[in-house]
Amino acid sequence: MHWSTRPVETAVAAAAAVVLGGVLLLLDVPGRLLVGAAVLLLVGVVVRDLRLRPRLRADETAVAVRGLGGTTTIPRARLRARVRTGRRLGVRSTSLELEDTADETVLLVLGRRDLGADPEQVGAQLLGHRPV
């Protein structure tokens, strides 16, 4: 099993970067700075999405999460997975927390965009049962 950012989201970000890059030619200097920063941010998002594909991979023995600093692997026997739902500024967000019970420094938090799916469903699949 594996999960990644949806390719459509990455393609939309790339298209937006191209369009904004074209708009740069039509703007004054302050506008170029602002839109140029937006283009760089979108290019960074696209590169991150492509570099971290697949974001989460799981099999019978371990779960591996790919990050910018490398891949973190947690054996199934030491895996603790939780789904957290919270509200911030009136917006409900759900995330999947993966923790290594033997190493207190490992806590990985993945959201809907990281996984390309509902974190609750991914957590249920990781734990081998259906979501509530």
- The dihedrals phi and psi of 99, each to the nearest 5 degrees, come to -130, 140
Order across the sheet with 91-100: list the strands.
79-88, 91-100, 107-111
Q: Is the pLDDT of residue 119 over 60?
A: yes
Verdict on whether the full-model pTM lies above 0.85: no
* Domain spans in the chain, listed from the N-terminal domain onward: 2-51, 56-127
Length of the chain, please? 132
- Rounded Cα distance between 103 and 100, Å, is 5
Residue 28 structure tokens = 């004054």
**Per-residue pLDDT tens digits for 32-64:** 999 999 999 999 999 999 999 999 999 888 999
